[in-house]
């Protein structure tokens, strides 16, 4: 049986849901006798609204994904998608207001479910696929000047700056760099302040419900920005280099910052026809213990390592027994793909990063 057929059973098999195939206990309807009319029942019509559904695969492997929305005993939506490594697919689905069960399964064995509470304040749902699980976020895009369904009182009524900032000619990319404020904990109010040089670009308070992600587009301009987020529980301040970090994420519940659910896989490849001993060191952006190994590589050998657990700027240095060496910064931030340390056929070692490069 093909994998698509297997995955299509998710809606009925994972949780005993109706809507695909014959529901359990249902019997064949008898043929009415001649001269009689078969009774008909019209199911009640439920008002629906259009919402966005985003499927994001930040892993280094392609995945075939099935996502099903269920309300009561009926399917609300059913989608299959092949997602490349790093791909983010945006869909439009019609869903009823209130609570909808969302089930996700991939051909890599991942199964997850959540409840999507649909209300007017949010534009949609984002499903982030990991190796061992999935994250579900209600999403809303907020204008940096305060146009947002979750905007609270503005702390500063000073002059407004037109955002996103236009580019300065030194870099080019096709979507504005922005800040994402997310909250896996209880609802809170957060004040966001973004500064470039001596200029405050954003100074705005937002109501951040549990399970919410607020996206604020800020700039097309390169520079070293500063981001501060303050709640009743804590204040978080962090540097934001643009375009190295296309998106700065701030978790208002824990205070953690980063550049998204990046792929943290580092591939080591020996493309030489000679064996090599590779000394590899990775100093993680998070400040965790350094990854420091000596690897014996056979000709043509390829290994996949996970030397870091969070996204950010990781310092990488690698050297061979021959004296060939390389060092550089591995920005494990979307939309970049997996990074590689490669020994080529001439015995030269290099650091490479897959995927589109902003800037």
At 251-275, the pLDDT tens digits run 999 999 989 887 788 999 999 999 9
pLDDT value for 217: 94
When mean pLDDT is compared across 45-59, 69-83, 115-129, 292-306, the lowest value belongs to: 45-59
- Which pTM value belongs to this model? 0.79
User: What confidence tier does 37 reach under pLDDT thresholds 50, 70, 90?
Assistant: low
3-state secondary structure of 103: strand
The predicted pLDDT at position 206 comes to 94
List the one residue out of 109, 140, 141, 139 whose CA is nearest residue 127.
139
What average pLDDT does range 63-88 have in this prediction?
A: 92
CA distance 17 to 69: 10
Domain 48-138 class? mainly beta
Is the Cβ–Cβ distance between 208 and 188 less than 8 Å?
A: yes
Answer yes or no: is pLDDT of 1 > 60. Answer: no
Q: Is the peptide bond preceding residue 335 cis, with omega within 30 degrees of 0?
A: yes
Listed range (2-6, 244-248, 253-257, 347-351) with the worst mean pLDDT = 2-6
Give the residue with greater pLDDT, 161 vs 35: 161
Domain ranges of the chain: 48-138, 142-260, 266-354
Quickly count helices (H) and strands (E) in the chain: 2, 24
Which of the listed CATH numbers 2.30.30.280, 1.10.10.10, 2.60.40.10, 3.10.180.10 matches domain 142-260?
Answer: 2.60.40.10
Rg (CA), the chain: 25
Q: How far apart are CA 356 and CA 304, in angstroms?
A: 21
What pLDDT score does 72 carry? Answer: 85
Residue 141: predicted pLDDT:
93
Q: Looking at the predicted structure, is the pLDDT value of residue 31 above 50?
A: no
47 confidence band (pLDDT: 50, 70, 90): confident
The dihedrals phi and psi of 89, each to the nearest 5 degrees, come to: -105, 125
Residue 76 has pLDDT above 80, yes or no: yes
- Is there a common fold for 142-260 and 266-354? yes
In the chain, pLDDT over 70 holds for what percent of residues? 81
Phi, psi angle pair for 239, to nearest 5°: -80, 150
Using one digit for the tens of pLDDT, what is the confidence trace for 182-212? 999 999 999 999 999 999 999 999 999 999 9
Q: Which residues pair with 211 in a beta bridge?
A: none
Strands 247-251 and 177-183: parallel
Q: How high is the pLDDT of residue 287?
A: 80
Average pLDDT rounded to a whole number, residues 161-166:
87
Distance of CA 316 to the CA centre of its chain: 24
User: CATH class for domain 266-354?
Assistant: mainly beta
pLDDT of residue 329 exceeding 70, the answer is yes
The pLDDT assigned to 9 comes to 47
């Amino acid at each position: 049986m093909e994998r698509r057929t297997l995955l299509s059973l998710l809606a009925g098999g994972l949780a005993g849901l109706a809507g695909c195939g014959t529901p359990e206990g249902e019997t064949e309807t008898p043929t009415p006798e001649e001269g009689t009319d078969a009774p008909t029942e019209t199911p009640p019509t439920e008002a629906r609204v259009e919402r966005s559904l985003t499927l994001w695969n930040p892993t280094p492997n392609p995945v075939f994904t099935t996502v099903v929305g269920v309300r009561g005993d009926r399917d609300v939506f059913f989608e299959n998608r092949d997602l490349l490594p790093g791909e983010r697919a945006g869909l439009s689905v019609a869903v009823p207001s209130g609570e909808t069960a969302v089930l996700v399964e991939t051909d890599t064995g991942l199964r997850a479910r959540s409840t999507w509470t649909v209300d007017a304040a949010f534009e949609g749902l984002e499903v982030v696929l990991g190796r061992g699980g999935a994250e579900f976020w209600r999403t809303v895009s907020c204008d940096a000047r305060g146009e947002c369904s979750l905007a609270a009182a503005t702390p500063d009524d000073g002059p407004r700056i037109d955002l996103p900032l236009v580019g300065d000619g030194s870099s080019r990319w096709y979507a504005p760099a922005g800040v994402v404020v997310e909250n896996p904990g209880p609802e809170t109010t957060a004040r966001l302040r973004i500064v470039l040089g001596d200029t405050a670009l954003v100074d705005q308070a937002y109501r951040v419900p549990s399970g919410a992600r607020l996206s604020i587009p800020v700039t097309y301009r390169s520079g070293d920005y500063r981001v501060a987020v303050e709640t009743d529980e804590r204040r978080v301040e962090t540097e934001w280099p643009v375009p190295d970090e296309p998106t700065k994420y701030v978790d208002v519940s824990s205070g953690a910052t980063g550049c998204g659910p990046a792929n943290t896989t580092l591939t080591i490849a020996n493309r030489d026809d000679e064996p090599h001993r590779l000394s590899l060191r990775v100093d993680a952006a998070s400040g965790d213990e350094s990854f420091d190994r000596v690897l014996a590589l056979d000709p043509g050998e390829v290994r996949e390592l996970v030397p870091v657990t969070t996204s950010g700027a990781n310092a990488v240095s690698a050297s061979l027994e021959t004296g060939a060496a390389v060092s550089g910064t591995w920005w494990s931030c979307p939309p970049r793909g997996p990074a590689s340390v490669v020994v080529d056929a001439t015995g030269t070692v290099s650091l490479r990063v897959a995927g589109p490069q902003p800037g």
